[in-house]
Amino acid sequence: MLKEKKEKEANSAKKLKTANEEVKEITLEYKLHELPSSQHKSGLAGLVLMVRWLTKRNPHKVKGILEELECTDKIYKLRIDKEGMKSLFDETYSASWEEQERDKPLKNSRTKEEIPYKRKETKAVGIVDKKTGENIQKEKEIYIYDVVVPSGSFLKDMDNSQESAWIKLWRDMIWNILRGIPTTRIVYENRASKEDNKDYLEVWNNLIKITTKKSEIQGTYFLSSQDKNAEGVPFLDQNKNFLLLHFWPFISQIYIPQKLEYDNSSKKYKPSDDGFAICIPEILDLKNFCLDYEEFLKSRDNTILGFRPRASKIFVLQEAGWDSFERLKISLTKLEGAKKYSDLVNGIDVFRFIKEGNNINNKANFRITPNDITLKEYEAFKNDNYFDSIFKRQILTNLSENKSWHEDFGKLFKTSGYEYFIGKGKTKDVNFSNDVNKKFKGLINSIHKEHTMENSLETDEKEISSENLKSLEQIIYWMIRNYISIRLASKYGFKKEDIKTNKYVEMKEKLAKETFLAIRSRTGGDFISYFSSSICSVGQYMNEERFLTLTKALFDETDKVRTLSMLALSAVSYTYQKKETSNV
CA-angle at 286, arms to 282 and 289, nearest 5°: 80
Residues pairing with 309 in the sheet: 304
Q: Are 363 and 354 in contact (CB under 8 A)?
A: yes
Q: How many Å apart are CA 196 and CA 191, to the nearest integer? A: 7
**Domain residue ranges of the chain, discontinuous segments joined by +:** 26-94+179-249, 95-150, 401-572
Q: How many Å apart are CA 244 and CA 50, to the nearest integer? A: 11
| Nearest partner of 226 among 361, 357, 317, 347, judged by Cα | 361
Q: Are 253 and 279 in contact (CB under 8 A)?
A: yes
Distance set, CA 540 to CA 484, 513, 544, 570, 571 (Å): 12, 21, 12, 20, 19
Residue type, 147: V
Q: Are 250 and 289 in contact (CB under 8 A)?
A: no
CB 299: neighbour CB atoms within 10 A? Answer: 17
Q: How many Å apart are CA 249 and CA 38, to the nearest integer? A: 12
Q: How many Å apart are CA 431 and CA 417, to the nearest integer? A: 15
| Nearest partner of 251 among 158, 370, 365, judged by Cα | 158
Torsion angle of C-alpha atoms 484, 487, 493, 494, degrees rounded to 10: 10
For 37, left (φ over 0), alpha (ψ -120 to 50), or beta? Answer: beta
Q: How many Å apart are CA 207 and CA 238, to the nearest integer? A: 9
Q: Residues 475, 478, 481, 485: is their CA dihedral positive or negative?
A: negative
User: pTM of the predicted model, to two decimals?
Assistant: 0.85
Q: Are 504 and 498 in contact (CB under 8 A)?
A: yes
Backbone phi, then psi, for 4, in 5-degree steps?
-65, -35
Torsion angle of C-alpha atoms 102, 261, 130, 100, degrees rounded to 10: 10
Residue type, 10: A
Q: How many Å apart are CA 314 and CA 573, to the nearest integer? A: 28
pLDDT (0 to 100) of residue 428: 55
Q: How many Å apart are CA 81 and CA 203, to the nearest integer? A: 12
pLDDT (0 to 100) of residue 338: 63
Which residues touch 543 (CB under 8 Å, ≥6 apart)?
465
Q: What is the DSSP string of 160-177?
A: -SGGGHHHHHHHHHIIII
Mean pLDDT by 10 residues, the chain (584 residues): 54 50 90 97 98 97 98 98 98 96 85 88 75 74 94 95 94 96 95 94 90 72 76 75 97 96 76 96 96 92 92 96 93 76 94 91 94 93 92 95 95 89 68 92 61 46 52 92 90 77 88 96 96 90 86 96 97 72 35
Residue type, 382: K
Which residues touch 175 (CB under 8 Å, ≥6 apart)?
150, 185
Q: What is the DSSP string of 415-461?
A: HS-GGGTSSSGGGT--HHHHHHHHHHHHHTT-TTTT--GGG-SS--H
Residue type, 42: S
Q: How many Å apart are CA 581 and CA 584, to the nearest integer? A: 9
